[in-house]
Structures are given as structure tokens and as C-alpha cells.
Amino acid sequence: MKNPVITDSFDIELPDLPGNYVLVYHNGCSFEFNHKTLGNHPLYAGWYFYTGSAHGSGGLRSRIHRHLIADAKVHWHIDFLKRVMKMQQVWYDLHEVNQECMITRTIMSVEGAGIPIKGFGASDCHEGCPAHLVSFTQDVSPDLVYRTLGTAGLGLVKKIIL
């Protein structure tokens, strides 16, 4: 199933500076996720938060815009997931330091958080994160997660996609 909503039209303004980001996805129904190295995993209906960083050429603008392209060449773990889930929001901060592990740990501190696929998005993680994808299958508002990040001093800018 391909995500029909995310397109090549980039109608959100993003800086071309280094930073960290969270992609917020909603999964409306449960399905089996199959990946040749990560294995098979049930992904239940709920909210999914993928944390990444953009410290290379083009910064946040290049990285996030690439994530917005539905049929972008598969390169990262998230490229498999974005084809079957609906992206709702993008949150980001401008920061020279890679903080994706700190952001992930903060999201994991919210009650009800789970790791749906061990190792997902964390193949280059040096801080021992179980994954950089966190899920909530109960009724958890993305706003609660966003406020939790702010309370922890990780004030990210919220951009609504849909």
C-alpha cells in the first residue's frame, strides 16, 4: 500500500541548517511489517514517532523533504514505513549536535511508549538505543509527546503536514 498523501510538492518552509527532527506518523490499521534484515513485526494501529538528524549537506530542508517524497528510493528503514503509514507532522530543532538519541529517550519516557521494531532507524546509533522508532498503540496525543519534549528542554518547532 502506497501513501497517497505525501507528494513531491514541498509546501512547508524548512531551513537548510543542521538539526534534529521527529516524523510523526499515524497508522490506522494493524498490519505485518516485513523487512529482510529487521524481520517480520506486527505494527498495530496507533501513533509512531521516528527520530532522525540532518547534519549533512542541505541540512533539515534536504533530509525532511526527502522523507516527504512517497516514492523516494529506499535507503533508510523509514523509507519502508512511510509507504504504508500516513505522516501527520514534522517537528525539528536547529542544532549543531546530533540529539536524536536524547529525543528518542524522551519520547520513550512517555507512558505507553513501545519499541515496535528493535533496531529500526538505529543502525548507526552509538548510545545503545533499542530503536529510533517509538510507538503508542493506546490513545496518546502527539501533543502530549510534543509537550514532553518541550518540558525536557528539547523545544522543537512543530510543522503540520496534513
Per residue of the chain (162 residues), give pLDDT as tens. 333 233 334 466 788 899 999 999 999 888 887 777 777 888 889 999 999 999 988 899 888 888 787 676 776 777 778 777 888 999 999 999 999 999 999 999 999 999 998 888 888 788 889 999 999 988 889 999 999 999 999 888 888 776
Distance from CA of residue 135 to its chain's centroid? 10
Short-list 143, 129, 93, 134, CA closest to 113: 134
3-state helix, strand, coil in the chain (%, to 5): 20, 30, 50
One-letter amino acid of 97: V
Say whether 148 sits in a helix, a strand or coil.
Answer: helix
Please, which residues bridge with residue 47 across strands?
26, 136
